Amino acid sequence: MRYDQINKQLFIKNRKKLVKKAEKNSLFILNANDQMPRNGDQFFPFRQNSDLFYSCGINQEKTLLLMCPDHPNKKYHETLFIIKTSKLTEIWEGHKLTKEEAKNLSGIENIYWIDQLDTLLNDIVLGTENIYLNANEYPKFSTEVESKDERFGKFIHKKYPNHKYHRLAPLITELRLQKETEEIELLIKACTITEKAFHRVLKFVEPGVKEYEIEAEITHEFLKNRANGHAYAPIISSGKNACVLHYIENNDECKNGEMVLMDFGSEYAYYAADCTRTIPVNGKFTERQKEIYNAVLGILRKSIKMMIPGATINKFNKKVNQLMEKELVKLGLLSEDEIKNQNPDEPAYTKYFMHGTSHFIGLDVHDVGSKDTIFKPGMLLSCEPAIYVSEENIGIRLENDILITKDGQIDLMESIPIEIDEIEELMIK
């Protein structure tokens, strides 16, 4: 484990909150992610299922958590199944968790080997009436790859068809949205590591460097500071590439007079940071670049103040888009007539700003929660206005991570340089 061990009290607390939301006499089932085949005899690096990690803190493959809080046998109230290691496994793959280590990480007393599941499952399931099955219910995501949760759900349905089945995702989503103090500390750590990486690239970027070289500098700083790595595929896009929203090739040369947009964030203990900065390749903004940059920065400042309890992403986006219209007129990119006569289904501003301004952040960079979820204290969201002017090869996006509190908001990236003067000063070689 690269990161500092998380206090098991967080996971104990998370499980207690979860079981309180369910029907009486229920079973909760949470599976680890699969090891995903890469090619030949190789797997992609393992990344734990966020819901399982939230519930027990175990980051090892082939893990299964069963919770039966009303089961007549108390040892089945919480049961964790993990890989049974061997001398051969230790030699070829390294250390796997012992039962005692799993207990210390999760706070779960009853630990079993995963190959004991078949002999215990009947006792556990037949002592319940309701079964909660987990699934990834992120609304904009679909995949042809079937998850372990989905396969296990089909198996349970077939073996025990007379139980009542329920969706676990809505319950755990509601809990994951509002962060505990321990989670906020981990998110702050992820932001701090991201800040260090940005300072590093400010001293590195100059005409002639390749986008992938900037990515390498960021990666080095992340790993050096004990992050898992990148929370998502980093976007390092110079010149015209900055107008491609999800440009991740990162292959081109950064040229004199251009800017480079960098969307990156570290993942520390599975918690994500999400930052975007746009800087001049040669260390000096042109007057036009300054003009557009300050327009985006002004919108960012005003938008953050609107991120308060009671808002939603949809309501927030509507207000930001109104700010955007005014700035695009000032920049000479839109006219008042174009806005007045626009098609409401295809607003004029979308020519230069075609995405939303916010999403939830947590164990996933695009975390659980919908655009109609009401902001409450403890929620963390991005704020990322942008202006893309493809005809001028200018794309500027600025993004900070904002914690909602009962009194307003806290910008977790407030200390990451963003003002033009500060960036130019820090880029002096």
Enumerate the active-site residues: 41, 246, 263, 274, 355, 359, 366, 384, 388, 397, 399
Q: Would you give the DSSP letter of residue 210?
A: B
Give the H or E element holding residue 52: helix 50-56
Distance CA 357, CA 304 (A): 10
The amino acid at residue 196 is: K
DSSP secondary structure, 318-367, as one string: HHHHHHHHHHHHHTTSS-HHHHHT-BTTB-GGGGT--S-S--B-SSSSS-
Strands 64-67 and 26-31, by their bridges, are antiparallel
DSSP secondary structure, 223-278, as one string: HHTT--EESS--EEEEGGGGGSTT-----SBP-TT-EEEEEE-EEETTEE--EEEE
Dihedral sign from CA coordinates of 161, 163, 166, 171: negative
How far is C-alpha 246 from the geometric centre of its chain's CA atoms? 15
Helix, strand, or coil (residue 186): helix
Task: Pick left, alpha or beta for residue 217 (phi over 0 → left; psi -120 to 50 → alpha; otherwise beta).
Answer: alpha
Task: List, in sequence order, the alpha helices (H) in 139-235.
Answer: 148-159, 169-177, 181-204, 211-224
